[in-house]
């Protein structure tokens, strides 16, 4: 082991941060680029299912709040693309990998948002699951990623509240509204739980990620944490658990649950979910339509640079 590797290992060991200027193993860098680019793409593609409801939000207030939330997601994408750029990949390359199917984004965004109650379920469950993961990522070993997560988590907690507020309005509203809330919960529950990734025993990257302290807690641990605190929120809403086998286990101190449908998960991850094609086509179209904006911004930046010089 040379002195650079020893210095890297010591930083990891002491739970100090690895910074862009520091030496790092090539595999550590590649691992982070994979995870951070996937995270960034998720934030950006994740704007689509919610954008679907912007023009149909039921009040001016709900429209303003939803718009603010979606704009936050765009901001999260930008922070994360910037984090990945510090590792030596450009945003253009990452977007190209997404368009060529070489980079992934979270499975959850390949499900349709059919009713206004789905805006509640997305904020409550999808952002709720995202925060559960991201709170632990605040302690990740790569400095820029860890600092980005601190800010993102603050905004995500507002998103979770926005979703839960919609769920409360629907669940405590008319019988039809309550039915819509239940239906949204039923459709989003298992896909939200699968956001945490495969079981630990099937997770290809977890073991190395945890050695490098990129990942602080495992997929199953975070999923169980999310289930344990969300069950009480379902009960407060007066809704039924979407999982008939969900019950408190005195011995483990956790809720038991049904097995997940991993065939469905891999089907969605591999591009065959209900909205995969639509999400990607939309991203490609918008990227193409907005080419002139990127060109104008680059030309303006060049002009300003020349004037300053």
Count of residues touching ligand FAQ (by CB under 6 A): 28
* Contacts with 276 (C-beta within 8 Å, 6 or more apart), sequence order: 110, 268
Only one of the segments 164-172, 193-201, 255-263, 292-300 lies at the binding site for ligand FAQ (rule: CB under 6 A); that segment is 193-201
Smallest gap from residue 300 Cβ to ligand FAQ (A): 29
* Contacts with 309 (C-beta within 8 Å, 6 or more apart), sequence order: none
**191 touches ligand FAQ (CB under 6 A):** no
**283 touches ligand FAQ (CB under 6 A):** no
CA 254 to chain centre: 24
**198 touches ligand FAQ (CB under 6 A):** yes
Q: Which of 62, 206, 230, 276 is close enough to bind ligand FAQ by CB under 6 A?
A: 206
Task: For tokens 């939000």, name the residue.
Answer: 57
Smallest gap from residue 283 Cβ to ligand FAQ (A): 13
**120 touches ligand FAQ (CB under 6 A):** no
DSSP letters along 252-300, please? TTEEE-PPP-HHHHHHIIIIISTTHHHHHHHHHHHHHHTHHHHHHHHHH
Pairwise CA distance, residues 81 & 95, whole Å: 10
**97 touches ligand FAQ (CB under 6 A):** no
Per DSSP, which regions of the chain are E strands?
247-249, 254-256
Pairwise CA distance, residues 54 & 172, whole Å: 23
**Do residues 80 and 142 lie in contact, with contact meaning Cβ atoms separated by under 8 Å?**
no
**219 touches ligand FAQ (CB under 6 A):** yes
**269 touches ligand FAQ (CB under 6 A):** yes
Smallest gap from residue 149 Cβ to ligand FAQ (A): 9
Quote the tokens at residue 57: 């939000």
Q: Which of 132, 133, 162, 230 is close enough to bind ligand FAQ by CB under 6 A?
A: 133
Residues 29 to 58 in contact with ligand FAQ, rule: CB under 6 A: 34-35, 38-39, 42-43, 46
List residues binding ligand FAQ (CB under 6 A): 34-35, 38-39, 42-43, 46, 73, 104, 106-107, 122, 126-127, 130, 133, 194-198, 203-206, 209, 219, 269
């Amino acid at each position: 082991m040379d002195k650079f590797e020893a210095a890297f290992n010591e930083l990891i060991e002491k739970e100090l941060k690895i910074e862009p200027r520091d030496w790092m193993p090539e595999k550590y860098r590649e691992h982070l680029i994979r995870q951070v680019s996937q995270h960034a793409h998720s934030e950006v593609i994740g704007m689509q299912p919610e954008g679907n409801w912007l023009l149909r939000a039921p009040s001016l207030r709900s429209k303003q709040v939803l718009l603010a939330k979606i704009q936050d997601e765009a901001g999260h994408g930008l922070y994360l693309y910037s984090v990945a750029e510090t590792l030596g990949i450009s945003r253009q390359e990452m977007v190209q990998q997404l368009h060529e199917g070489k980079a992934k984004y979270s499975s959850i965004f390949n499900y349709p948002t059919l009713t206004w109650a789905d805006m509640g379920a997305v904020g409550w469950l999808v952002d709720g699951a995202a925060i559960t993961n991201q709170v632990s990522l605040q302690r990740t070993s790569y400095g820029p990623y860890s600092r980005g997560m601190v800010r993102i988590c603050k905004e995500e907690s507002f998103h979770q509240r926005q979703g839960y507020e919609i769920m409360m309005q629907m669940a405590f509203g008319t019988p039809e509204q309550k039915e819509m809330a239940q239906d949204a919960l039923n459709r989003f529950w298992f896909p939200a739980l699968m956001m945490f990734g495969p079981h630990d025993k099937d997770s290809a990257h977890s073991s190395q990620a945890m050695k490098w302290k990129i990942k602080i807690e495992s997929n199953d641990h975070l999923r169980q944490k999310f289930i344990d605190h969300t069950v009480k929120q379902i009960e407060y809403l007066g809704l039924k658990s979407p999982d008939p086998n969900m019950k408190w286990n005195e011995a483990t101190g956790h809720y038991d649950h049904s097995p997940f449908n991993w065939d469905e998960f891999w089907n969605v991850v591999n591009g065959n979910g209900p909205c995969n094609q639509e999400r990607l086509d939309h991203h490609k179209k918008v990227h193409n339509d907005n080419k002139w904006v990127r060109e104008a911004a680059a030309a303006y930046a060049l002009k300003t640079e020349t004037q300053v010089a």
